[in-house]
Amino acid sequence: MKDIKVVFMGTPEFSVPVLEGLIENYQVVGVVSQPDRKVGRKQEVVFSPVKQVAISHDIPVFQPEKIRVDYEDILDLKPDIIITCAYGQIIPKAILDFPKYGCINVHASLLPKLRGGAPIQKAIIDGYSKTGITIMYMDEAMDSGDIISQREIPILDNDTMETLHDKLSILGKELLLDTLPSIIDGFVIRIKQDEKEVTYAYNIKREEEYLDFHKTSRELYNQIRGLSPFPGSSCFIGDKEFKVYFARIEKVDTSMKIPGEVLHIYKDGIGIATKDYELVLLDIKPSGKKRMLASSFINGIKKSDYLGKVAYETKEG
């Protein structure tokens, strides 16, 4: 369908397979991405993953700071359809009403569950057993438009944000390409979202990264997986901060222990008391060091420096 003109809006790595699938099958006449940002100590300008793909295919890129007021260049492309996937800004009505086939969004949850910017993270953190992709018509509210198609996958017990992200990214590409012919042919059935079933997945806040060992081991295990590898969960043991990327649960009786107390130094990890059992930190980044397996860290410490210490959410405890 190379005669169908598509404008794609997206920014992060998650959006890349979707864009690549569109380039292979449609005429992508423009790409809209968030403005370039300066990162790191050197404040180097880094292009978004979506912008990099667009440039490699000689596709014009537009990066408005505020798309609600700066969108005329996009409409000048006269797209037949606009497709968004993790773009990062609310699309104004002037754009939504323009394309012949509408504005379509690829969202990484089974709507109406987990509307918002962090559906992959929150699906794991909140203990969902499954998630998926929703293809939907866009409206002026956040992820509230009519559903066109959905496809689900299970969340495995060892899934992290990274592994689930990669699975859903490919699933989003596949479902979109399977759905687009029906949208263009006009054979879709629009399904209104049930507002009684809505849950939200707002962007992760800094305070949500910290591990509170008064929670259950399962809650902490899910939190760690849902934030791995970015931004990572955090705790302090003494005055040293640790980022935590993976852990396991040991069903140790901790009823007489203080939540957060370091109970064991295993060969492969640091065992910390929780509300119910013990959480063993396996994949960590000690402050000032690179990310490493806990076994490597343990080989370079005195166990007595950590056993009996209490892990806190923040340095102040």
Report the alpha-carbon distance of residue 294 to residue 276 in Å, rounded.
Answer: 22
**Is pLDDT above 60 for 316?**
no
Q: Mean pLDDT throughout 139-144?
A: 92
User: Shortest CA distance to 286 belongs to which of 239, 247, 249, 248?
Assistant: 239
pLDDT tier at 315, thresholds 50, 70, 90: low
For residue 314, the model assigns a pLDDT of: 73
pLDDT for the residue 152: 98
| 231 prior amide bond cis, ω within 30 | yes
Mean residue pLDDT of the chain comes to 95
What pTM does this model have? Answer: 0.95
* Per-residue model confidence (pLDDT) at position 317: 46
Which domains are seen in the chain, by residue range?
5-197 (3.40.50.170), 206-312 (3.10.25.10)
Residue 51 exposed, middle or buried by CB count within 10 Å (0-12, 13-18, 19+): buried
The structure tokens listed for 256 are: 């007489």
Instruction: Report d(CA 177, CA 4) in Å as an integer.
Output: 13
pLDDT score at 281: 98
Q: What is the pLDDT of residue 238?
A: 83
Distance CA 132, CA 202 (A): 17
For the stretch 74-86, pLDDT in tens is 999 999 999 999 9
Specify the pLDDT at position 255: 87
